[in-house]
Each structure stands twice: as C-alpha cells, then as structure tokens.
Amino acid sequence: MLAELGEDPSREGLRDTPKRVEKALRFLTSGYTADVDAVVNNALFTVDYNEMVIVKDVDYYSLCEHHLLPFFGKVHIAYIPNGKVIGLSKIPRLVDVFARRLQIQERMTNEIAETIREKIHPLGVAVVCEGTHLCMAMRGVEKQNSFAITSAMLGAFQSDARTRTEFLELIKRPDVGPLRRSLLRAEHDLVETPDPFG
C-alpha cells in the first residue's frame, strides 16, 4: 500500500509501519474472535427488578467497512429486565465486541440490541448510537453529513411510546449517570491492555 501511494517503504519512519498497521488492525477488528458468551455469561443475574436499566455515554471506536476509516461516538443502552440483568460493567465490553469489526453504524446498533435480547430476554431493549464518520468528515464536501444517529427499539420500547420517550429524555439529560459512567470507565480500564498496539 505504501509503495502504491508513492511512498518509499524503506525510509526510516515507514520501515516498521506495515508491522504496526497489522497490529493495529488486528486489535481494531478483534471483535470477530471475541466470544460474546465469555463476555456476558458469568455476569447474568436473576433479579426481582423490572425498572428500566440505562447505561449511557458508552464510548466506542469502530471502522467503517466501506473506507476502513474510523467512526466513533457514544452508545446509550436501556432495557427492562424480565427476571434477569447483565452486570453493568459488561455492557461496554459488549459494545466493544461489535465495534471492533468492520462495521456500519446501523448494523452495530442492531447487533448490540439483539444480543441483549438473546441473552436475557428482557421486556424491551433500546440502543441509540451517535457516530462521527471520518470517511465523510475528512472529505470536506460531505461534512454536514458526517454525524449520524441510529437506533434500535425492541419489545416495550417499540410498542410503548411512553417507555421510548422516557428513555430518550433520560439520555438527553446531562445530569443522569456521570457517577455510573466514571465507575464503568474505571472498571472498563482495568480489563483493557494499557497499550493495545504494543
């Protein structure tokens, strides 16, 4: 690829670039080999709780499958338990499983929602995903379209407008969840390798 771009692959700054790019791409697509069951199965709990559970502002970084350029942003997830919950710290890891692939934002949003439905059969699942797409932003002409919002509404979130509205209002409020968010991030950081690219 370097030679094709008119570069000299043997110059000092580029000598290890193929190795580094390979390592980076393997990490950024590690979701293909991640095991969803291993991520969530030891964190499914039986509970007597049927209020909406919301995890908002989960950061993600993904690669668009059309240009192999990043898109990234935040995912907000909610579900209404039906006897089972997923450990809160597993939700960002579940997002990583689907973000670390070649993706389109719409599919990623659906995959997260469907996986939660499959794992705990809740009364409803909602996923809203915000993404900035570098493949559009960097090309200038389409700048105004570089931000996209996608959503997947299943079960009660689809059939009940009030439930859906409650969720959408809650994710808009900046005062909901900063503590939970920092706790999640702290936990999340513990399981991350400090320098994934080595």
Picking from 127, 175, 166, 176, the residue whose alpha carbon sits closest to that of residue 149 is 127
CB of 65 to Zn ion, least distance (A): 7
d(CA 99, CA 118): 18
Which stretches of 29-160 are DSSP H helices?
36-40, 90-99, 105-120, 134-137, 156-159
**By CB under 5 A, how many residues form the interface with Zn ion?**
4
- In order of 31, 72, 133, 146, 178, the CA distances from 103 in angstroms are 11, 11, 11, 15, 28
Rule CB under 5 A: is residue 135 a binding residue for Zn ion? yes
By CB under 5 A, residue 185 contacts Zn ion: no
Output the smallest distance, CB 105 to Zn ion, in A. 10
108 binds Zn ion (CB under 5 A): no
Q: Considering beta carbons, is residue 93 or 133 the nearer one to Zn ion?
A: 133
Cβ neighbour number for residue 172 with a 10 Å cutoff: 10
**Measured from the CB of residue 101, what is the shortest distance to Zn ion in angstroms?**
14
The verdict on 102 binding Zn ion (CB under 5 A) reads no
Q: Is 107 in the site for Zn ion (CB under 5 A)?
A: no
In the complex, least distance from residue 194 CB atom to Zn ion, rounded to whole angstroms: 29
- The verdict on 66 binding Zn ion (CB under 5 A) reads yes
63 binds Zn ion (CB under 5 A): no
| Residues of the shown chain interacting with Zn ion in the complex, contacts defined by CB under 5 A | 64, 66-67, 135
